[in-house]
Amino acid sequence: MFGGPALFRDRDDAGRKLGEKLAQVRLEDVLVLAIPCGGVPVAVQIANRLGAQLDLIVVRKLQIPWNPEAGFGALAPDGTVLLNPELTPHLHLTDAEIWEVEKRTMVEIERRTQRFRGTQPAPRLADRAVVLVDDGLASGYTMLAAAQSVRKAGPRHLVVAVPVASAGAARLVKPACDRFIALHVSAALPFAVASFYERWRDLTDDEVLRYLQARGVPQTSMEE
């Protein structure tokens, strides 16, 4: 595990530093898409720095049934599904069991999308510079699912931007985007995103909503 001093005070600090890096890249008609929950504070700071539109894409890991903290793949809102080919065969899950996990995960994606965005239409992705943001990449499968899903909509330029990534995640995600930006890539094992932050905790849905509301992302279900 990363053993030196933390690189970032918190997600806001990471977002400001990442925003400065992205400001050096010439992008026009930018849409910053956050992966909630942890990617939202980072993305808010990036959008502020770039003067860009902010929105989100709810992508969820496929949880191992007996270990919900771990995942064997990821699912995007449009049904894009990715399975970790190195891990999944060793779990000995049947096709029916995998399908059941996917169904439960899609229900959660739809619930969270409704919670965060209400009935507002999804933002236009075609012919835009889309910046996908999370607070860090461990395995990389969630971000890869997001990138593959967004790519189908025809963005002019697809950027993945994260404060920190494992070396394996960086190798996995880079081919799926036009530009990959990580302030720090670590080959150390085990790898934990939280170890690069002084202050780290899980965000609640209400906190995510407050970040989005403050940035002007439209919701119609704030009171739900």
CATH of 11-213, one of 3.90.1150.10, 3.40.50.2020, 3.30.70.270, 3.40.50.300: 3.40.50.2020
- Say what the pLDDT of residue 218 is: 60
- Say what the pLDDT of residue 120 is: 82
pTM (two decimals): 0.92
Q: Measure the CA–CA gap between 17 and 135, rounded to whole angstroms.
A: 12
Instruction: Write the single-letter amino acid at 143.
Output: M
Element (H, E) at 24: none
- Say what the pLDDT of residue 1 is: 43
Enter the DSSP assignment of 135. S
Which strands make up the sheet holding 60-64, listed edge to edge? 60-64, 67-75, 81-83
Ordered per-residue pLDDT tens for the chain, 224 residues? 444 568 999 999 999 999 999 999 989 999 999 999 999 999 999 999 999 999 999 999 999 999 988 899 999 999 999 999 999 999 999 999 999 999 999 999 999 999 998 878 889 999 999 999 999 999 999 999 999 999 999 999 999 999 999 999 999 999 999 999 999 999 988 899 999 999 999 999 999 999 988 877 765 443 33
Q: Measure the CA–CA gap between 53 and 143, rounded to whole angstroms.
A: 20
Distance, CA of 63 to chain centre: 16
- Say what the pLDDT of residue 131 is: 98
- Say what the pLDDT of residue 214 is: 84
